[in-house]
Amino acid sequence: CRVPGAPDLDAYWRLLAGGVDGIREVPRDRWDADAFYDPDPDAPGKMTCRYGGFLDGVDRFDAGFFRISPREAASLDPQQRLLLEVAWEALEHAGLAPDRLAGSRTGVYVGITGTDYSHLVGQRGRSGIDAYVGTGNAHSLASGRLSYTLGLEGPSLSVDTACSSSLVALHLASQGLRRGECDLALVGGVNLILTPDLSINFSKARMLAADGR
């Protein structure tokens, strides 16, 4: 796992055991909190909160490990990159060799809802559209890429039910196992906040707590 304040599972348990707060001010590599903050929810283009839960190093990715070219990686949503990394780690943690699952009836169920990176890629303009923008940012490919990379032949679903996406993905995976649709299930969820747009929207709707909690 990767969660705010903890880059892996062991760190996450330490965070929980120690009662550590993973909420912090918006890091500079996302956006300038000073430039976008205003306590007035009606201020145009501003947000009422300067805090949130953020992961570090989301721009880092060992593309070569997954046989992805640097050019394709540049158009690949960091959410898909994270899913590849964490899925591989999860299988290792479960004692399953990822490279031995090819051809197995393993299902992939992914909860995903964010589209921030596609908006950033869109800022390149039409001349910046390459062969990888579509597959790199489509939610359907978040699960499909995992299945393809590992050679899995079970169900492959990307689920967007907003805040419940990961839980619904887990529910569907459990059903798939019970019904015999797959012998093994790989379940996950991902959400990266890369632009201020949705936070501005949520501020206008009075949906954000001022302290980010």
pLDDT tens digits, residue range 109-162?
999 999 999 999 988 889 889 999 999 999 999 999 999 999 999 999 999 999
Q: Is 118 helix (H, G, I), strand (E, B) or coil?
A: helix
Mean residue pLDDT across the chain:
95
Instruction: Report the C-alpha gap between 200 and 36 in whole angstroms.
Output: 8
What percent of the chain stands above pLDDT 90?
Answer: 93
pLDDT digits (tens, 9 = 90+) for 14-56: 999 999 999 999 999 999 999 999 999 999 999 999 999 999 9
Instruction: Give the CA distances from residue 75 to residues 78, 89, 137, 187, 212, in Å, rounded to whole numbers and listed in that order.
Output: 9, 23, 8, 24, 30
* Residue 151 CB neighbours (<10 A): 14
The pTM of the full predicted model, rounded to 2 decimals, is 0.94
pLDDT at 5 exceeding the cut of 90: yes
pLDDT digits (tens, 9 = 90+) for 173-211: 999 999 999 999 999 999 999 999 999 999 999 999 999
- List the structure tokens of 111: 């909860």
Does residue 175 contact residue 77 with C-beta atoms inside 8 Å? no
Q: At 213, is the pLDDT very low, low, confident or very high (cuts 50, 70, 90)?
A: confident
Three-state SS string across 145-209, please?
Answer: HHHHHHCCCCCEEEECECECHHHHHHHHHHHHHHCCCCCEEEEEEECCCCCCHHHHHHHHCCCCC
Does residue 91 contact residue 98 with C-beta atoms inside 8 Å? yes
- Name every residue whose Cβ is closer than 8 Å to that of residue 174 and which is 6 or more positions away in sequence: 185
Q: Is 23 helix (H, G, I), strand (E, B) or coil?
A: strand
